[in-house]
Structure formats: structure tokens, C-alpha cells
């Protein structure tokens, strides 16, 4: 029998309900407001009172209204049709909602129950299977979407039958399994999973051992992220967090992109809706939207659903990982998620931690980042979820709880600097403060040197050092004046400018420069390092500056032209001439 | 909002604070309005039969035996074409001596637009101010605040922008306006003969601060009526959002909520986002554009109010008094319109983007030259010319009293380039330079 309850208290979207039976933490209930059902989640229980956060506006609710508990946590539907969809934080399909405004209490199905999918069986009758084993496959866009034994199935099963190749809807039975108690269970292409629980149906989770190409130079060349790795991008407003994330989502070497727009501007999401359907994936030649799913809970949508949105995104990511795919999950911004936690904690009158955030914020953040990773599946394949979140630190100050908690768990730190943004040096990733812990992993070093070349990681160190020394020289020049320092300081400064302008800066709005594959990146980086290695003779700082400005200009033209094209080679020749003249 | 015949009247208050009262009552709905001793109040908390009411006018002089009548409805406003040209208070009652407006009754603070149903903003809103149109072009459906210190003439600039902007309706939401500023706006609107397209909701400093919490929702509900129902282009002016946020913190404080940064409520981001995100470009042509004012304390943008605002809005405009010319200018370095790329060079002349960047870059060179001068280093000829250019640039383009159209702004910029620099120094793409360069006679 279902537990029911009566509303006893309301403060904004926190409602207390007196219950007549058992309830569990995070259980979902529906409150009846004059026929409209408002979805809510249990977040605390004291005696007979359950505290629930309502995912909708509570306007018009009164003490005495009835609630019904559903006996399960917040779940999402997993099955073909997730890609190219646009969901809210609770996985309601925003495309099928009627009207211009979001209607309270309107919930739409995540998967189209009528669409037919071309199914091909993988398993056959008699096979022994366990949860997450692949039973068959459908084509979702161009991706092989595996139909798996539901993750909730415990123990081992014998396959009694698998449907023949043909067209089926997500509601139709595609396999019958027999459990150890000899009961028959029907499996469809759709399954449910609670978003706050990680999907752990894999063999093991090794340390990340290969890099993931994003085609953003300041990441790939200077601070590479591993496949299955974690990273975060903190930065004050206006420093280009969103542009950087969009660039990564367009170009990264991933099969599936899940984009969680969590508490951010609606117009930015509209930009994705408008742009992505027009963009072609450089690797597959297919539309970018076909491999993308957007979870969109903008800042004006209910705050409790915002908290759910990142988990919804992560669960979908883990689902595709179980198919042996490379998933890239992006969340913009995790600070808004943390603020949603703060709002609820505040209403429950919990004792606050730093800046009013709940005490368990670091634990919640680290628990979330821990769900990313590369995994070995039971059938020997690998799949991965790589996670990059943005952080919007209050006042641009990185010493605040969300940034600090995230810094402890994320392995890559892409710090956006206000100073670089003011100078229009984009992406404004600070070359000195940012880091990638993966550069310390022997597995990653081996992978990089195998893919790019010997001593690559040492070369990264050399480049970083040039930038750092250039920065120091610049400070000296500023204090002592152009004439007040030895010429060598100017050379140092200009060498760092060379790396800055040619490698670190990248035009996200130029189709060629924005999309820089690793081969091209290493070519350009080696070219620049070779120049930095040379010594030139100058008659004073002005000549030095002019010389390097010329080189920078040619190298930037190279960045803007097709790699190894005639034009590219023409610039290369020009560059070599200049270098020879400089000697 | 008169009482109805069969309403139950309560006469026993259980508790009184400076902004709220508590009493026992049955069947009360969340968010509904009530009157307490004739003053308007709203339900903010329900704990079984114990109801907490926030009294907009404050609780001064409220007796424990006050008459409390629940109205059964959340705050609402009557909308129709007739509200054009009218002035209302925070409750939507006329304050211009005119009759009560008949029309459709709508609850304020309604639901959000489905993000999937939004259109990408793409229509330019010209204001005649070059600091905005040339460098930080506004787009319909955008939300952008002025970040200004209290001594700057932001209300004048807002009024100017409102009157020049090519829109169908202008809605003013005045929060904590001084009576003088309120009369200023009224005067300017009347003199411009534009009253028929302006609707004002005003809370002055003479009225209780908590009342202003209703102003943005009143203004935006009226805006949605014109934008959604009538497919009109609506410009909403909100001044001053800092005073709105202050009112939020007063209420949260009275309700014993734990404050977060700068003693603002923990929900400040969501509270502000709910307002600003009403800015929208609708598929049927209607739009709501929001220009707000956020006053700063000593230019500090790290304070919780401007900081949260910056993360929500699509850019910000800074006003600054230029020491060279003594004029108030729109600061080209710190101001930003995030949506300008959607219209620059697309809805304006092809050279717009190039001219804008070159002009600002040369102005930045002037700033560097000034630093050199201040540090006692020698100035080059180029530095000298940059400094001269900076004066012309701020006088003829950045100053807020300039009122020309965008093509004229571009032509003016080319004239300044030719007057002070060579083509290489300006360094704009050759084909563009050849087409627009103005040979200077001076």
C-alpha cells in the first residue's frame, strides 16, 4: 500500500508532510493541488514529518492538501531516443511540452513510446547474462546503442529468447530472461534508474590511461585532460567560461556529449539549440546534434530541479558509458547547483558551513566527480565519462567553498583569468595557475609520447617555464622601464608572448583556428619551441619587439589557414626567411 | 481589493515583528494576499494553522487585535491596452488620479518561458548613444544593467535610452526612487509626448521598502501582456535593483534566515534570475528587453548584488566621468554586451566590428600612454597622437549626450582615425579600409 500524507507546513518550495506510513530518504511524492500534481523529493524526516523539496512553485498550496508517496527515488528513463533530445532537470522532454510557458504539473515522457527502432540481436537463447550485458543493438543516429540487461537485475540470468532483427518500440519486449528462481522476466529497450545512485555494473575502474583530444590548444598542449578524467573551469563573469565549454563540446574526441545547463542563462541554451543543429561533427561528418543531449534547467526554472539536473546528466552519461562509448559530460555551472543545495539547507534551518553552504558540500561535490571515469566493462570493452564542470566563484575570488571543494577532487584546473579576459586574450585560461595532474601519471606520459613523440611532456615543461619567465621579465620591465632592464629581459618577454599568441590564444569563432587537431598542435608547438631555442642579435628592445611581432603575425596567419595547404606553406617559408634574417 | 461578503475575519494576532505577523487561521493558501488592519500582506510561511504574513507597509502601529482578512488570491494586476500611459503603485493601484483600469486579471510572477520555445535574439535596439550602439549594441530580448555609483546620472541616461529606443512599449519599474526622480521621469515622459506608450510602476523612498518586492513582477507581468498577447516589442526599465535586493534581505532577516555573502539571502541568485530571465525573444515577434540599474558602492563589483547580477545578465554597462573632457561616458573597457555579435555587421554596416575594435584598441593605447606619462617615461609621437585621439573619441562618441545613428557613428570614427592615425596604425582589413577611409583635410 502506498504511503500517503497531509501537508502541514510550507515555506517557499520546502513543504512538510505528516505521513501515515514508511517513507525513505529521497523518495518521490506527488502533492495534489486542486488536481495538479506537484512532484517533490523527501530530503529529511523527523518523526512523522517528512520534509520534501517541491520541484515546482508552491503558490496556492495549503495545509491539509494530500500527498502520495511513490516508493522510489527520482528516476530517469534510459533507452534509445535520449540523444538529440532536450530535457529539463527532471528529464521532461521540453520539445513536446505545449505552449510558450512551462505549465506547472506538466510532465512529458522522456522517450517516444511510438517510434520504431531497427533492432539487431547480440545475445542468443541459452546465454548466461548479468546486469548491463548487451542483448542487442539499435542505431541511434550513427551510434550503436546497446540494449542491455537492466542495471537493477541482480544475480545471473539465462536468456530464454531474444527478438529477431526488426523494428520495435521502446515498450515492446525484445528479450525474455529466466532468473535463478526460474521466473521469466520481460526486457524492453527502456529501463529506469535512480539518478542519485551511481551505475556500477562494470568490472573495474582503472586509472585514466589515455588523453582525450579537445582541439583546444591550451588544454591539449599545455594541460591535457584524460579520457575518463575530471576537470573544472573557474572564472569570474565575462571571462569566457561558456564559450570555452561550447568549443570543447563541439570538437572533443567523444562519441556522446551530455550538456547540463544548470542554472544559467536561457539565451545561452537557445544558442546551442540554434547552432548545434547546423553544425557538422568533424570526425563522423554527421550532425553534431545527433550525438548530443541537453539537460537544461535555466536559472529561472525551479531550484530543486536544478539540483537534480546534474545527476540526471551524469546518469545518462553512465548509461552510454555502459555501451562502451566515450561520453563527455559538461556542466555549466556547478556553482548554481551548490547554490540550490544552499537554498534548501537554509530553509531547513541547518547550521551552515562557510558562506552559508551546507556542511557536507565538499562531500557532495567529491561524490559527484567520483562518478566520472574510464571503466572496463564485463565483456572486455572500455567506456568512459569525462567530466568538465564550470565554477562561477562569487566576486571572482577562488577562495570560496565551491572552488576549493572542487579543486580537491578535479584533476585538471583550467583557471580563467580576468586579466587575460580584459586583454581579450581568449581562451583566458591562465597558463601559470592552471594545471593537469594527468601529466604526472606514468600511463598518460607513455600515451602522450607514443601518440605525439619522445620527450613531449618535458617539452610542455619547457614551454610553461618560458611563459613563467616571460611574466617575471614583464613585471621587471614595467617597474624599471624599457631602457632600465637588460635586452635579454625583452627577449624573454617576447618569447613568452610568442607562445601566448600562437599556442595559448585561439579564436573560437574561426572555423579553422578553433578546430586544431593534436597533430597540428604538436607541429606548431615544436615550431614555436624551436624559435625560442634560437638566439638572435638585436640593436635594442624596439628591434627585438618588432622582430617577434613579425613572427607572431606570420604564425597566427598559419593558425588561420588550412594545415599544410599551399598558403600554409607559403607562410612557413616567410617565417623561415624572417628567422634567417634575424640571425 | 475590498473584502467580500462571506470572508472569514480573524482578529487575534499571535506574534508581530517589524515586517511580519503570525496568526492562527484555517484553509490559507501559500502566496495568497490578506489585509491586516487594512494593510496589504502576503502569506510567506504556513505551519499547520499558524500563518506568517509579510506586511508590505511594515507593522508600525499594528495592534494584536487587528482585523485580518484573507483574499484567497496571490498578487494580481488588471491588464488591457488601457494601462498604457498610466502610473501605478506597487500594488497596481493608479497614482496619477485616473480611474481604476478595467481588464483581464492576471497573477504576477507567473511561469517561465519554455527555453525550447525561445528564439535567438537578433533585433537591434538603437539608442543613439555611441557608447552603447557602437561598442555595446543592445539586442531585443537582452537583459543588461547599468553598473553605476549613486552620484552618476543613471536615471537620466535610462530616461534618454527609453525615449530614443525604437520599441512599442516602455515599462518603468521604479524601486526606491526618490520623489524627485519619480517626478523627473514623469516630467520627461510627458514632455516627450510619449506617454501613450509608457507604463510606470513606482515605489518611492517615501513608501515602505518591502512594497518594492512587488514592482518587478508587476512590471514584467504587464510586459508579458504586451509581448506575448500583442506581439509587441517591450522595453522594461528597472531602477534600482540594489534597493530591491536590500528589501529582500530585510524580509529574509525578519524571517530568521541565515544570511550568506554580504548579508544577502542565500537565494539572491535565484531571486534575481527569476526577474531578469523574463527577458525573452518570442517566436511570434514579441520581445521583452530589460535594462536595469544596479548601484554600486564605490565601484565595487565583487559585492554580492552586482556579482550575482553579472552572472545572470548579458553584459553590463559602466558609466564613468572622463577626466579629460569632464563628460559622463560609457566606459568602453569594462562595459560589455554579450549579445552584440548577433547584430553587429549583420544588422549594421559591414565595417562595424572592425571600427569598434580598432577604436577601442587605440583608446587602450591612449590609456597606456597616459600611464607612461604619469610614470615619468618619455612619450613617442604615436603616444601623443593617441592622447589627442582619446579626447576626440570621448567627446564625439563615448559621451552620453551624443545622439546620432549608427552609420553616423561609424563615419565619425573613420574621421577620427584619419585625423590622428595612418592606415597601418589603425590596422583594419585592407578592403574595408579602402572603402571607408576618410581623407582628412586638417
* Cβ pair A266:B280 closer than 8 A: yes
Axis crossing angle, helix A456-480 with helix A442-451, rounded to the nearest 10: 100
Is a pLDDT exceeding 60 seen at residue B442?
no
Q: How many domains is chain A built from?
A: 4
Name the residue facing A100 among B27, B282, B377 (closest C-beta): B282
Q: Is A241 on the interface with B (CB under 8 A)?
A: no
State yes or no: pLDDT of B322 exceeds 50. Answer: yes
Q: Which three cell numbers stand for residue A124?
A: 542468443
Contacts of A220 (CB under 8 A, 6+ apart): A211, A213, A214, A516, A518, A521
Q: Is residue A343 part of a domain?
A: yes
Identity of the residue in B44, B120, B261 whose CB atom sits nearest the CB atom of A355 = B261
Say whether B260 and A59 touch across the interface (CB within 8 A): no
Residues A134 and A280 in one domain: no
Lowest mean pLDDT among A209-223, A257-271, A402-416: A257-271
CATH number at residue A152: 2.40.50.100
Q: Is A172 in contact with A188 (CB distance < 8 Å)?
A: yes
State the pTM of this model.
Answer: 0.92
B115, closest residue in chain A (CA to CA): A266
Question: What is the model's pLDDT at position B1?
Answer: 45
Q: Among B365, B366, B413, which residue's Cα sits nearest to residue B391?
A: B366
pLDDT tens for each residue of B375-394: 888 888 889 999 999 999 99
Q: Of residues A282 and B242, which shows the higher confidence score?
A: B242
For B76-341, CATH gives 3.40.50.12240
CB-CB neighbours of A360 under 10 Å = 13
Flag if B311 and A95 touch (Cβ within 8 Å): no
Does a structural domain hold residue A391?
yes
C-alpha cell at A267: 539565451
End-to-end CA distance of chain B: 69
The sign one gets for the Cα dihedral A170, A173, A175, A180 is positive
Q: What are phi and psi of B253, to 5 degrees?
A: -65, -45
Mutate to test the interface with B, among A13, A18, A265 (most CBs of B within 10 A): A265
Q: Which residue has the higher pLDDT, A384 or B400?
A: A384
Do A227 and A325 reside in the same domain of the chain?
A: yes
Q: Is the pLDDT of residue A583 over 80?
A: no
Q: Do B277 and A101 touch (CB under 8 A)?
A: no
Query: Residue A301's closest chain B neighbor by CA?
Result: B112
Residue A550 to residues A172, A533, A538, A554, Cα–Cα distance (Å) = 66, 17, 14, 6
The whole-number pLDDT of residue B14 equals 95
In this predicted structure, what is the pLDDT of residue B423? Answer: 86
A80 found inside a domain: no
Note whether residue A100 is domain-resident. no
- Residue partners of B121: CB distance under 8 A and separation at least 6: A267, B139, B140, B141, B142, B281, B287, B339, B342
Cα–Cα distance between A388 and A257 in angstroms, integer?
Answer: 11
DSSP labels, A210-258: SEE--S-HIIIIIS-EETT-EEEEE--TTS-HHHHHHHHHHHSS-SEEE
Strand B336-337 and strand B328-330: the pairing is unpaired
Asked if A390 and A485 sit in the same domain, the reply is no
d(CA B249, CA B261): 11
A36 interaction partners in chain B (CB closer than 8 Å): none
pLDDT tens sequence across A194-210: 999 999 999 999 999 99
Helix (H, G, I), strand (E, B) or coil at B64: coil
Question: Do residues A401 and A425 share a domain?
Answer: yes
> Is there a single domain that holds both residue A269 and residue A183?
no
Whether residue B4 is predicted with pLDDT greater than 80 in this model: the reply is: no
Contacts of A556 in chain B (CB under 8 A): none
First to last CA, chain A: 87
Q: Is the pLDDT of residue A279 over 90?
A: no
In a domain, A105, yes or no: no
Q: Are residues A249 and A395 in the same domain?
A: yes
Show the domain range for A493.
456-582
Single residue among A441, A467, A494 that ends a domain in this structure: A441
- DSSP type of residue B205: T
- Searching chain B, which residue's CA lies closest to the CA of residue A96? B116
List pLDDT tens digits, range A482-507: 888 999 999 999 999 999 999 999 98
Q: Which residues contact B97 (CB under 8 A, 6 or more apart)?
A: none
Question: Mean pLDDT over residues B402-413, rounded?
Answer: 94
User: Across the strands, what pairs with A145?
Assistant: A138
pLDDT digits (tens, 9 = 90+) for B229-266: 999 999 999 999 999 999 999 888 887 778 888 889 88
Q: Do residues A378 and A424 share a domain? A: yes
| Nearest CB to A394 within list B49, B307, B375 | B307
Question: Same fold for the domain at B9-70 and the one at B76-341?
Answer: no
Distance, CA of A289 to chain centre: 16
CATH code of domain B9-70: 2.40.30.20
Interface test with B, best of A237, A260, A479 (most B CBs within 10 A): A237
| DSSP notation for A519-535 | HHHHHHHHHHHHHHHS-
- Identify the domain boundary among A154, A189, A224: A189
Instruction: Identify how many contiguous H helices and E strands chain B contains and give both numbers.
Output: 12, 21
Q: What's the mean pLDDT in A37-42? A: 94
Q: What residue of B is the nearest CA neighbor of A271?
A: B120
Range in A281-295, A377-391, A424-438, B25-39 the model is least confident about: A281-295
Whether omega for the bond prior to residue B374 falls within 30 degrees of 0, making it cis, is no
Return residues 34-63 of A near B (CB < 8 Å).
Answer: 57-63
User: Between A and B, how many CB-CB pairs are < 8 A?
Assistant: 172
Provide the pLDDT for residue B440.
62
Instruction: Return the DSSP state at B189.
Output: H
Interface of A with B in 61-90 (CB under 8 A): 61-64, 86
Whether the CB-CB separation of B56 and B175 falls below 8 Å is answered with no
Residue A551 has pLDDT above 90, yes or no: yes
- CB contact residues (below 8 A), chain B span 22-61, against chain A: 27-32, 44-49
Chain B CB contacts of A352 under 8 Å are 258, 260
A407: which 3 cell numbers?
579543486
Is the model's pLDDT at B306 over the cut of 50? Answer: yes
B107 vs A contacts (CB less than 8 Å): 59
Q: B141 to chain A: nearest residue by CA?
A: A267
One domain for residues A414 and A460: no
CA A368 to chain CA centroid, nearest Å: 12
Is A533 a domain residue?
A: yes
Q: Do A53 and A160 fall into the same domain?
A: no
The CATH number covering residue A404 comes to 3.40.50.300
Could you tell me if A270 and A396 lie in one domain?
yes
Residues A228 and A366 in one domain: yes
3-state secondary structure of A189: coil
Q: Of A138, A155, A189, which residue is a domain's last?
A: A189
Measured distance CA(A384)–CA(A373) in Å, rounded:
6
* In a shared domain, residues A145 and A68: no
Q: Is the pLDDT of residue A479 over 90?
A: no
> Domain boundaries in chain B?
9-70, 76-341, 352-436
* Confidence check: pLDDT of A274 > 70: yes
- Look at A60 and B115 and tell me if their CB atoms are within 8 Å: no
Q: Bigger pLDDT: A88 or A484? A: A88
Q: What are phi and psi of B241, to 5 degrees?
A: -70, -20
**B99 CA to centre of own chain:** 28
- pLDDT bin (cut points 50, 70, 90) of residue A316 is very high
Q: Return the CATH number at A45.
A: 2.40.10.170
Backbone angles phi, psi at B421, to 5 degrees: -135, 170
Smallest CA–CA separation between B442 and chain A, in Å? 31
The answer on pLDDT for A382 being more than 50 is: yes
CATH number, domain of A567, equals 1.10.1140.10
Q: DSSP 3-state assignment of B121?
A: coil
Percent above pLDDT 90 for chain A? 75
B217 Cβ under 8 Å from any chain A Cβ: no
Optimal mutation site among B42, B43, B71, B115, interface A, most CBs of chain A within 10 A: B115
Amino acid at each position: 500500500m502506498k504511503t500517503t500524507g497531509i501537508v502541514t507546513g510550507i515555506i517557499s518550495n520546502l513543504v512538510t508532510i505528516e505521513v501515515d506510513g514508511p517513507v525513505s530518504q529521497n523518495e518521490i511524492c506527488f502533492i495534489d493541488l486542486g488536481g495538479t500534481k506537484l512532484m517533490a523529493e523527501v530530503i529529511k524526516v523527523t518523526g512523522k514529518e517528512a520534509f520534501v523539496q517541491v520541484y515546482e512553485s508552491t503558490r496556492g498550496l495549503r495545509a491539509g492538501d494530500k500527498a502520495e508517496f511513490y516508493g522510489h527515488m527520482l528516476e530517469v528513463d534510459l533507452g534509445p531516443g535520449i540523444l538529440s533530445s532536450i530535457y529539463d532537470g527532471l528529464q521532461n522532454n521540453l520539445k513536446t511540452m505545449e505552449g510558450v510557458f512551462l505549465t506547472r504539473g506538466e510532465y512529458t515522457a522522456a522517450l517516444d513510446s511510438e517510434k520504431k527502432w531497427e533492432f539487431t540481436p547480440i545475445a542468443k537463447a541459452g546465454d548466461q547474462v548479468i546486469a548491463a550485458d548487451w542483448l542487442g543493438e539499435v542505431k541511434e543516429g550513427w551510434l550503436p546503442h546497446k540494449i542491455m540487461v537492466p542495471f537493477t537485475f541482480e544475480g545471473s540470468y539465462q536468456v530464454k529468447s531474444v527478438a529477431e532483427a526488426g523494428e520495435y518500440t521502446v515498450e515492446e519486449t525484445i528479450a525474455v530472461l529466466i532468473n535463478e528462481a526460474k521466473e521469466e522476466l520481460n526486457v524492453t529497450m527502456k529501463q529506469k534508474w535512480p539518478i542519485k545512485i551511481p551505475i556500477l555494473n562494470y568490472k573495474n575502474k582503472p586509472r585514466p590511461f589515455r588523453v582525450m583530444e579537445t582541439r583546444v590548444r591550451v588544454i591539449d598542449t599545455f594541460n591535457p585532460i584524460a579520457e575518463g578524467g575530471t576537470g573544472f573551469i573557474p572564472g569570474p563573469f565575462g571571462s569566457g567560461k561558456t564559450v570555452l565549454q561550447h568549443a570543447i563540446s563541439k570538437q572533443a574526441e567523444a562519441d556522446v556529449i551530455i550538456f547540463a545547463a544548470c542554472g544559467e542563462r536561457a539565451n545561452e541554451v537557445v544558442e546551442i539549440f540554434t547552432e548545434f543543429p547546423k553544425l557538422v561533427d568533424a570526425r563522423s561528418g554527421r550532425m553534431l546534434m545527433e550525438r548530443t543531449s541537453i539537460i537544461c534547467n535555466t536559472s529561472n526554472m525551479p531550484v530543486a530541479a536544478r539540483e537534480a539536473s546534474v545527476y540526471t546528466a551524469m546518469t545518462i552519461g553512465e548509461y552510454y558509458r555502459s555501451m562502451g562509448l566515450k561520453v563527455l559530460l559538461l556542466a555549466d555551472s556547478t556553482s548554481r547547483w551548490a547554490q540550490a543545495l544552499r537554498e534548501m539547507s537554509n530553509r531547513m534551518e541547518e547550521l551552515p558551513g562557510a558562506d552559508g553552504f551546507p556542511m557536507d558540500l565538499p562531500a557532495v561535490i567529491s561524490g559527484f566527480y567520483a562518478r566520472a571515469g574510464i571503466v572496463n566493462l564485463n565483456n572486455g570493452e572500455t567506456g568512459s565519462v569525462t567530466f568538465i564542470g564550470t565554477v562561477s566563484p562569487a566576486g571572482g575570488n577562488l577562495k570560496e567553498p565551491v572552488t576549493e571543494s572542487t579543486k580537491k577532487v578535479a584533476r585538471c584546473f583550467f583557471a580563467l583569468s580576468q586579466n587575460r579576459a580584459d586583454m581579450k586574450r581568449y581562451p583566458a585560461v591562465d597558463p601559470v595557475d592552471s594545471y593537469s595532474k594527468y601529466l604526472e601519471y606514468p600511463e598518460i606520459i607513455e600515451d602522450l609520447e607514443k601518440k605525439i613523440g619522445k620527450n613531449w611532456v618535458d617539452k610542455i615543461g619547457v614551454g610553461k617555464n618560458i611563459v613563467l619567465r616571460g611574466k617575471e621579465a614583464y613585471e621587471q620591465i614595467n617597474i624599471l622601464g624599457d631602457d632600465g632592464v637588460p635586452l635579454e629581459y625583452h627577449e624573454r618577454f617576447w618569447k613568452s608572448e610568442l607562445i601566448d599568441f600562437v599556442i595559448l590564444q585561439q579564436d573560437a569563432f574561426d572555423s579553422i583556428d578553433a578546430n586544431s587537431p593534436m597533430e597540428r598542435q604538436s607541429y606548431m608547438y615544436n615550431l614555436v619551441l624551436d624559435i625560442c631555442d634560437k638566439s638572435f642579435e638585436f640593436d635594442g628592445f624596439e628591434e627585438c619587439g618588432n622582430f617577434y611581432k613579425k613572427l607572431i603575425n606570420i604564425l597566427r596567419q598559419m593558425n588561420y589557414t588550412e594545415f599544410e595547404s599551399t598558403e600554409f606553406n607559403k607562410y612557413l617559408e616567410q617565417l623561415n626567411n624572417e628567422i634567417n634574417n634575424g640571425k | 481589493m475590498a473584502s467580500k461578503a462571506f470572508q472569514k475575519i480573524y482578529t487575534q494576532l499571535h506574534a508581530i515583528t517589524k515586517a511580519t505577523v503570525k496568526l492562527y487561521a484555517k484553509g490559507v493558501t501559500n502566496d495568497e494576499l490578506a489585509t491586516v488592519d487594512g494593510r496589504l500582506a502576503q502569506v510567506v510561511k504556513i505551519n499547520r494553522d499558524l500563518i506568517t504574513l509579510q506586511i508590505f507597509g511594515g507593522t508600525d502601529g499594528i495592534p494584536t487585535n487587528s482585523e485580518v482578512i484573507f483574499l484567497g488570491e496571490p498578487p494580481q494586476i488588471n491588464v488591457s491596452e488601457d494601462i498604457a500611459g498610466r502610473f501605478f503603485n506597487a500594488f497596481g493601484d493608479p497614482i496619477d488620479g485616473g480611474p481604476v483600469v478595467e481588464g483581464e486579471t492576471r497573477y504576477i510572477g507567473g511561469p517561465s518561458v519554455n527555453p525550447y520555445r525561445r528564439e535567438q535574439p537578433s533585433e537591434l535596439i538603437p539608442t543613439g548613444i555611441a557608447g552603447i550602439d557602437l561598442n555595446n549594441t543592445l539586442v531585443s530580448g537582452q537583459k543588461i544593467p547599468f553598473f553605476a555609483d549613486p552620484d552618476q546620472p543613471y536615471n537620466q541616461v535610462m530616461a534618454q535610452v527609453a525615449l530614443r529606443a525604437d520599441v512599442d512599449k516602455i515599462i518603468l519599474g521604479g524601486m526606491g526612487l526618490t520623489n524627485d526622480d519619480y517626478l523627473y521621469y514623469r516630467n520627461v515622459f510627458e514632455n516627450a509626448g510619449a506617454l501613450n506608450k509608457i507604463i510606470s510602476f513606482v515605489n518611492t523612498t517615501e513608501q515602505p521598502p518591502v512594497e518594492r518586492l512587488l514592482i518587478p513582477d508587476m512590471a514584467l507581468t504587464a510586459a508579458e501582456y504586451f509581448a506575448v498577447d500583442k506581439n509587441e516589442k517591450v522595453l522594461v526599465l528597472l531602477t534600482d535593483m540594489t534597493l530591491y535586493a536590500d528589501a529582500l534581505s530585510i524580509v529574509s532577516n525578519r524571517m530568521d534566515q541565515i544570511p550568506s555573502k554580504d548579508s544577502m539571502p542565500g537565494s539572491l541568485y535565484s531571486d534575481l534570475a527569476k526577474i531578469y530571465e523574463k527577458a525573452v525573444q518570442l517566436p511570434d515577434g514579441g520581445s521583452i528587453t530589460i535594462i536595469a540599474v544596479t548601484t554600486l558602492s564605490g565601484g565595487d563589483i565583487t559585492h554580492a548584488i552586482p556579482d550575482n547580477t553579472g552572472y545572470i545578465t548579458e553584459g553590463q554597462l559602466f558609466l564613468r566621468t572622463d577626466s579629460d573632457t569632464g563628460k559622463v561616458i560609457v566606459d568602453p573597457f569594462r562595459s560589455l554586451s554579450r549579445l552584440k555579435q548577433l547584430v553587429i555587421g549583420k544588422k549594421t554596416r559591414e565595417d562595424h566590428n572592425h571600427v569598434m575594435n580598432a577604436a577601442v584598441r587605440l583608446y587602450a593605447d591612449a590609456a597606456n600612454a597616459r600611464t607612461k606619462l604619469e610614470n615619468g617615461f618619455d612619450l613617442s609621437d604615436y603616444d601623443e597622437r593617441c592622447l589627442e585621439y582619446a579626447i576626440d573619441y570621448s567627446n564625439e562618441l563615448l559621451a552620453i549626450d551624443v545622439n546620432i545613428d549608427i552609420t553616423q557613428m561609424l563615419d565619425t570614427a573613420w574621421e577620427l582615425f584619419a585625423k590622428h592615425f595612418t592606415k597601418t596604425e589603425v590596422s583594419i582589413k585592407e578592403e574595408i579600409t579602402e572603402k571607408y577611409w576618410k581623407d582628412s583635410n586638417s
